[in-house]
Amino acid sequence: MPITSEQREQRKRYLGSSDAGVLAGVDQYRNMGDLYLDKRGELVKDDSNPDTELGTDMEDAILTMFTRRMSLTITRNVFCDRFDSGFPACANLDAGVRDAAHDAKGDIAAVVEAKYTSMSEEWGEGPGDVPYRVATQVQWQMWVTGCRLAYVPVFFVPPFGRANFRVYQVERHDDLINELVERGRIFWNDYVMKGIPPGDTVPHLETLKRRRREPESLVALDEDVAELWCKLAAVKQQISGLETDEKGYKEQIINALGGAEAGSLIDGRVISFREQNGARHCDFDRLELELRAIQGKIDLAMGFLGTHDNGGHFPHELEQLGQVDLVALYEKLVRQGRHRTLRIKAAPKLKRGK
């Protein structure tokens, strides 16, 4: 069972494994200013992130593939905490391995952090070559649980080509853990508990938009802010001018085409009317991301079909993996005009661990 919205709220009272990358300065999506506002409870709840929702939906499937490949017994959605380092720390594990064959100090023999991504270039070929933000995340988990090994099963859905499943193994690094814990102690006690924002970082714009605000309140701003406001107005004016220039250039180019569909430049390049008149009426980048997700689910389902002798019927496991409905997914692709790019056939059998 994936993490619930209530558990996400609970994590705000702790420094968790998902915060470790921020403490280490390797989280490209959040900084210390974002983390401060989050832990102070100053942000409006937001559960609308489609990437987070997709990762949650895929978690059960990835963990099932992991247990089948590694032949390990796991407990899913495990919450652990500790308070012996001067601040509240926790780890919401996607799963914990409970296997006497592993060397461990506590009940959890190894942590399992399931990932779903289209950015395969971030991941290396070696058994422990995971991105820095993932490395800090699982190191924190190993510290909280007291174990010395982390498994990171990853389901890759590349923009082109077939999806791939791989399991990484990350060993405990005590020096890195000690540094993370020290940074966490300072951040929690010197900033969060005292209500003092970190002065060296400004929260990201999307975070600031979610900040709770007092109705009908007014604050006095200094001259530095007034200067920033003037700079912002100047930049907006420049952007407006550039957009006007762009429109004018397009009009002149299209007019030069006359009634032709395209025109050839003296250097051999070809300009078409469609290129100049190709205004976007929808967010194609977002659409492409959604299509990758759909293709990934189809590849995942077909991977299960390829590992079962079931006479062409969906295996029972798919009902436990969020009820993947290939017909519904395919119909959605038809509506979006991309169904011809799919190869609806059984994928090669997944390799199993020896």
> Which tokens sit at 163?
């999806």
The confidence score (pLDDT) of residue 89 equals 97
d(CA 121, CA 15) in angstroms, rounded, equals: 29
What would the pLDDT profile of 295-316 be if each residue is shown by its tens digit? 665 555 555 444 433 343 433 4
What percentage of the chain carries pLDDT values higher than 70?
69
Q: Model pTM?
A: 0.68
Which position has the higher pLDDT, 310 or 92? 92
> Residue 80 — very low, low, confident or very high, per pLDDT cuts 50/70/90?
very high
Name the residue among 354, 338, 344, 237 with its Cα closest to residue 284: 338
Beta partners for residue 96, in sequence order: 75, 111
Tell me the range of 7-21, 38-52, 139-153, 288-302 where mean pLDDT is highest. Answer: 139-153
> Residue 261 — very low, low, confident or very high, per pLDDT cuts 50/70/90?
confident
> Residue 24 — very low, low, confident or very high, per pLDDT cuts 50/70/90?
very high
Mean per-residue pLDDT for 27-33?
A: 93
pLDDT score of 123 more than 60: yes
Instruction: Give 339-344's long-range contacts (Cβ < 8 A, gap of 24+).
Output: 342/295, 342/298, 344/298, 344/302
d(CA 58, CA 160) in angstroms, rounded, equals: 20
pLDDT score of 262 more than 80: yes
Where do the structural domains in the chain lie, given as residue ranges?
5-209, 223-276, 284-341
pLDDT score of 79 more than 70: yes
What would the pLDDT profile of 40-58 be if each residue is shown by its tens digit? 999 998 766 655 566 677 8
> Residue 12 — very low, low, confident or very high, per pLDDT cuts 50/70/90?
confident
d(CA 347, CA 264) in angstroms, rounded, equals: 45
The confidence score (pLDDT) of residue 322 equals 40
Q: Among the residues of the chain, which ranges form H helices? A: 5-10, 20-24, 32-39, 50-70, 132-145, 174-187, 205-209, 223-257, 273-276, 284-306, 317-320, 326-335
Residues 6+ apart with CB under 8 A from 350: 65, 68, 69, 165, 303, 306, 307
The confidence score (pLDDT) of residue 207 equals 92
**284-306 and 326-335 helices cross at what angle (nearest 10)?**
150
Find the Cα–Cα–Cα–Cα dihedral 12, 13, 15, 21, rounded to 10°.
Answer: 10
CATH of domain 5-209: 3.90.320.10
The confidence score (pLDDT) of residue 57 equals 75
The confidence score (pLDDT) of residue 353 equals 39
The confidence score (pLDDT) of residue 318 equals 37
> Residue 159 — very low, low, confident or very high, per pLDDT cuts 50/70/90?
confident
Instruction: Provide the total of helices (H) and of strands (E) in the chain, helices listed first.
Output: 12, 8
